[in-house]
Amino acid sequence: MRGSIVRHAVATGMACMGLSVAAQSVVVDPSGRVSVQGGGAGVQVDPHGGIKVDAGAGKSASAGASAGAGRRFVNADLQGQSFQGQNLNGASFVNTQAQSASFQRAQLQGAQFTNADLSQADLRGANLEGASLTNSDSSGADLREANLRRVRMVNTDLDGAKLDGATWTDGRRCAAGSVGRCR
């Protein structure tokens, strides 16, 4: 009975996150961590609510171009995952690890990044208009040609971030060689 309850709970949680995986196995280890594997993808949920998504080699962490709009990522490990070209408008990333993740050409209008680690992330050409970054690390991120118009940044680290050709928060275009700040 416990296995079917766990399968249902994880499947429901995955559906709420916009993920679809035909589960081939569901495992609950002694620490309470739940792992779901299937179709080359996997999801792990730890007892504290942390989520790690592994879409499998060369796959996106979200199915479909609009599956991510308004989605919430809380305590999620998205390191190295690809959200390239996806619609994540209004998405919420709270306490999320997204180092080296690709959001290239993604739609992130109105997205909220709170205590998010986007260091070394690829955000080239991403549309972040009206997004907010609070207590977030975007050091070394690639924001070339990104739309940052009306983005609200509070305690956000842009050290080493590439901003060439980006549209800055006030609408001006960042000059070539803009690193860490818009010139």
Q: For residues 72 and 112, what is the distance between their CA atoms, to the nearest angstrom?
A: 9
For residue 178 the two structure tokens come to: 């803009």
What is the arithmetic mean of pLDDT over 2-14?
A: 47
Other residues' Cβ atoms within 10 Å of the Cβ of residue 48: 8
Mean pLDDT across the chain: 80
Place of tokens 């690639």: 142
Q: Tell me which of 147 and 62 has the higher pLDDT.
A: 147
pLDDT attached to residue 70: 84
Q: Tell me which of 100 and 23 has the higher pLDDT.
A: 100
Q: For residues 95 and 46, what is the distance between their CA atoms, to the nearest angstrom?
A: 14
pLDDT tens for residues 24-72? Answer: 445 445 455 555 555 455 566 655 555 555 554 444 444 333 346 789 9
pLDDT band for position 94 (50/70/90)?
very high
The CATH number of domain 72-182 is 3.40.50.720: no
Torsion angles phi and psi, residue 73, rounded to 5: -120, 110
Q: For residues 121 and 131, what is the distance between their CA atoms, to the nearest angstrom?
A: 16
Q: For residues 16 and 25, what is the distance between their CA atoms, to the nearest angstrom?
A: 19
Q: Tell me which of 9 and 43 has the higher pLDDT.
A: 43
pLDDT tens for residues 19-35? Answer: 444 444 454 454 555 55
Angle subtended at Cα 149 by Cα 148 and Cα 154, rounded to the nearest 5 degrees: 65
179: helix, coil or strand?
strand
Residues whose CB falls within 8 Å of the CB of residue 35, separated by 6 or more in sequence, listed in order:
25, 26, 27, 29, 42, 43, 44
End-to-end distance of the chain based on CA atoms, in angstroms? 61
Check pLDDT > 60 for residue 178. Answer: yes
pLDDT attached to residue 5: 45
pLDDT band for position 134 (50/70/90)?
very high
Give the residue extent of every domain in the chain: 72-182
Residues whose CB falls within 8 Å of the CB of residue 103, separated by 6 or more in sequence, listed in order:
83, 84, 88, 121, 122, 123, 126
pTM value is 0.68
